[in-house]
Every structure is written in C-alpha cells, then in structure tokens.
Structure 1
Amino acid sequence: MSEQNKRVVLDYVDAFNRADLDAVCELFAPDALIHGALGWGGIEAARPVWSDLMRCFQISLEVDAVVAEGDSVAVRYTERGRSVASFRGGPVTGREYEMIAMEWFLVKEGHIKRRWGARDSAAMFRQLGLPFS
C-alpha cells in the first residue's frame, strides 16, 4: 500500500509542476482537508489558492526525499518559482525564489484525504521582492 500511496503523491507533484489544476484536484477525495501556509479547508478553498500560485509564480517542485508508511506519505521538496503575474494585487518583479518545502499526506483508497504543507512563505516573498502580509 505504501508504494501505491507514494505514486498518488508523485502524481500530485507531476500535475502541480505541469500547472494542471484539474489533475491536481482529481487526486483529492471529495471530503479532503488541506492545510497550508495560506489557510486551510476543502478542495474548494485550495483550488483558487493553487491556481494563483501556479499562474503568478510558475512553481516547480523538485522531490528531494519521500517517505511512505501505511497511509502516510511525507515529501521534502526544493521549490522554485518566479514572479510572472500579480499575486493578490502585488507587483510583478520577475525575480526568482528557491526554498525548501514539506508536505505530509494521508492517502486512502487512491485519493488524498488530508494534506499538510509547510513552507517559508516569508522567505519566498522576500526573495521575490514582494510585501508579505
């Protein structure tokens, strides 16, 4: 089961890197709960946040490590991106960023039921030359 769950999470990474929002969302169970630096909620709360992040920062996740045991999968990434569109009314700087990010997933029956994300958004915004509020 651990290897199958790891595959679900790696499919999430692949879809995120392709900026395929529909494919990302399809990997989550309808009642999934998503916790992140910009808030928490169901897929309806996460979808617009992910859309903005993909569109504004062209985020790329490089998997540095992945551990799977039972229903749990933990991933450490090097996250990279660039300011290419206005994020929540802020300026476009064209600057790039790089940071470490981590996510923990609970996968059941081939779908992500819970996702917790940890990233240093303040460092990201500092590197991009954007105000952090």
Structure 2
Amino acid sequence: MAVAIDWLDAYRAGDIEAILELYAEDAVVHCGCGAGVKTITSREALRAYWVDRLRDYPAGKLNDLNCSQDGTLISYNTRTGVVSVLLAFDAAGRIKELNCSPSH
C-alpha cells in the first residue's frame, strides 16, 4: 500500500521522475480513461503517457484505498470525476501493471 500512496503523492505533485521510478522496467499500463483502452508497454511510451496524464487529468484527493488479491486498488478525484486504479507489483515492490478506468 505504501507504493500506492507514493504513486498518488508523486502524481499529485506532478513529479514525473518520481512516478516513473515506481514502475518496473517491463511495466504495462492499461488505461481506459479515454476513448477505448490504451495499452502502454515501453518506457518511452510510459513517459509520454504521464506527460499527457499530468496535463489532462491531474490527480486530486484520495477517494479510497484497498488491498486485493490482485494488488492495491486506489481511487482518486480528477477534474473529470473519480478514477479507479489497480496496481500490481513485482517481487521488488515496483509497479508491474496498472489498470485504470473511471469509477461509475
């Protein structure tokens, strides 16, 4: 759960370098926050995703945080509504997979 809080704190601060440090080298992001689901698989694409994300969907306050058998589920407010994110971690505690979508 600590990494999930660190992730949200870095996101809210707009600190792209701190965000990227939390991801494993082979991390995969599945984002359903726009039209369709976008899958990001390379470090370059992950950086570009976060540049856009920080500009278009800045994170606000924490809405909810829970552990699940698949990882940590975190939800937070954005200017467009609440977003839910499932974070899965590798053995080193780095984010190996992120799945996000608007909460309904």
Which range, TM-score by smaller chain? 0.7 to 0.9
Q: 1:21 aligns with which of 16, 20, 23?
A: 16
- Alpha-carbon deviations, 1:40-74, whole Å to 9, x = none? 122322211211232x3471232111111456100
4+ runs deviating over 6 angstroms: none
Q: TM-score, normalised by structure 2?
A: 0.81
Matched positions, count = 97
Structure 2 unaligned runs (5+)?
none
Correspondence for 1:11 = 6
Q: TM-score, normalised by structure 1?
A: 0.65
- Alpha-carbon deviations, 1:89-130, whole Å to 9, x = none? xxxxxxxxx40110001012210010001027xxxxxxxxxx
The answer to which structure has the higher strand fraction is 2
Correspondence for 2:53 = 53
Structure 1 unaligned runs (5+)?
1-5, 81-97, 121-133
Whether the 8 Å contact between 1:79 and 1:99 is mirrored in structure 2 is: yes
The answer as to 2:101 corresponding to 1:118 is yes
Identity %: 24
Distance apart, 1:18 and its partner CA? 0.8
**RMSD between superposed Cα atoms in Å:** 1.9
